């Protein structure tokens, strides 16, 4: 009996020791988890811009090579401008013609113009009288057989044409004496404005023979060489946007309450150990999605997560597009620096 009692006490002691050890391990693991700040995983967002001319033409110059840096507003390629310079000159001449016509109409008819119109009317009336007299002479001759019906038809046609010419000359005299109507002046003014708009369009096309960078970046593809004929929208250069730098990262449901637009975070990369970048959360998605396969943590790949964007404040060439990164809240220093991270949160 004494031996059995000793065995029972030994078993109880072992159970108590096991429970105490398990409790201590559980407590320490919780403390470790509490000490470690939340980590988010993602990648530097890939943002490319395909640059193309708005107008067609022959490529004159391509000023950048692959790998070159470009600045916003910098000229990076040119088309042959000669056809567009010619179009501008022609459009300006059309404006001069339209303005001269408007000025002439506003000035009204001169005395010489009125006299010329009346002289033309007098000439047309005389021609009508001659045509009508010839018709009168032919009619009895046709009856007597001294002229043909064809001669009579021709005389009638000539008389009708002479009367029509008199009517047209009378209208010219009336218009010349009266001067241009309000609606005619309005049409002339509209023609001037239309010609001026054509100049604006021609000058815009000439300006667009220079291709400028839409943002700061690095050329990743040079698709066209000088001498090539390109149409509107044909790719010339592909530029990777470098400013601003965005991070595309993901948070699970438990982490979602830790971030919101404006939250300051540190961005860690393997290439820059101990020197995190500082950024701010700029956007948090309102809908959950399955974690993309390019996220580095396997345990998250089958989880529903929320995408968010980090805008890096001070960046350099160390942040390359597509690079995997780890993100931690700026006010929570890690207990031990993970691979590519350090306790020092200053970039």
Identify the domain boundary among 205, 233, 267: 205
pLDDT at 347: 33
Structure tokens at 92: 């300006």
Characterize the bridge pairing of strands 246-251 and 277-284.
unpaired
Give the pLDDT of residue 342: 36
Q: 100-155 pLDDT, tens per residue?
A: 988 887 776 566 776 787 788 888 888 888 888 888 888 887 777 777 888 778 88
Shared domain check, 219 and 129 = no
Task: Kindly state whether residue 283 falls inside one of the protein's structural domains.
Answer: no
Residue 121 lies in a domain: yes
Domain boundary among 218, 241, 264: 241
- On the question of pLDDT at 213 being above 90, the answer is yes
Q: Largest Cα–Cα distance of the chain, in whole Å?
A: 172
Count structural domains, the chain. 2
Q: Using one digit for the tens of pLDDT, what is the confidence trace for 274-305?
A: 788 889 999 898 888 886 666 555 555 557 88
Q: What is the pLDDT of residue 36?
A: 47
The reply to whether 53 falls in a domain is yes
Based on the fold, state whether residues 187 and 134 are members of the same structural domain.
yes
- The residue segments making up the domain with residue 107 are 84-205
d(CA 21, CA 63): 71
Residues 183 and 124 in one domain: yes
The answer to whether residue 151 is domain-embedded is yes
Domain contains 29? no
**What percent of the chain has a predicted confidence (pLDDT) above 90?**
32
The torsion defined by the Cα of 311, 315, 319 and 320, in degrees rounded to 10, comes to: 90
Asked if residue 197 and residue 100 are part of one domain, the reply reads yes
At 71-111, the pLDDT tens digits run: 999 999 999 999 999 999 999 999 999 999 888 877 765 66
Same domain, 119 and 225: no
In a domain, 133, yes or no: yes
Dist CA 45 CA 247 (whole Å): 5
Q: Are residues 174 and 214 part of one domain?
A: no
Higher pLDDT, 195 or 331: 195
Q: pLDDT tens, 220-241?
A: 999 999 999 999 999 999 999 8
């Amino acid at each position: 009996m004494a031996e059995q009692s000793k065995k029972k006490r030994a078993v109880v002691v072992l159970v108590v020791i096991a429970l105490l050890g398990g409790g201590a391990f559980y407590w320490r693991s919780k403390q470790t988890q509490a000490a470690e700040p939340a980590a988010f995983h993602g990648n530097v967002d890939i943002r490319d811009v395909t640059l193309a001319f708005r107008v067609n033409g022959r490529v004159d110059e391509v000023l950048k090579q692959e790998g070159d840096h470009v600045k916003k507003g910098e000229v990076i390629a040119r088309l042959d401008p000669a056809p567009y310079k010619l179009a501008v000159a022609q459009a300006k001449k059309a404006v001069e013609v339209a303005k001269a016509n408007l000025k002439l109409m506003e000035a009204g008819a001169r005395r010489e113009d009125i006299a010329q119109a009346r002289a033309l009317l007098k000439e047309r009336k005389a021609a009508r009288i001659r045509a009508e007299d010839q018709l009168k002479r032919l009619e009895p001759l046709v009856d007597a057989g001294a002229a043909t019906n064809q001669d009579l038809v021709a005389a009638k046609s000539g008389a009708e044409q002479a009367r029509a010419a008199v009517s047209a000359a009378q209208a010219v005299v009336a218009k010349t004496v009266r001067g241009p109507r309000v609606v005619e002046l309005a049409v002339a003014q509209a023609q001037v404005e239309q010609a001026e708009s054509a100049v604006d369009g021609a000058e815009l096309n000439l300006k667009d023979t220079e291709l400028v960078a839409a943002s700061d970046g690095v050329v990743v593809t040079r698709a066209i060489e000088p001498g090539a004929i390109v149409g509107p929208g044909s790719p010339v250069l592909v530029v990777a946007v470098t400013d601003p730098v965005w991070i595309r990262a993901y948070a699970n449901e438990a982490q979602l309450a830790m971030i919101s637009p404006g939250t300051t975070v540190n961005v860690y990369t393997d290439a820059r150990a101990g020197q995190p970048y500082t950024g701010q959360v700029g956007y948090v998605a309102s809908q959950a999605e399955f974690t993309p396969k390019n996220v580095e943590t396997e345990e998250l790949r089958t989880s529903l997560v929320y995408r968010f964007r980090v805008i890096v404040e001070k960046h350099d060439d160390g942040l390359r597009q597509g690079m995997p990164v780890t993100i931690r809240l700026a006010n929570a220093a890690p207990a031990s620096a993970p691979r590519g991270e350090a306790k020092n949160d200053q970039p």
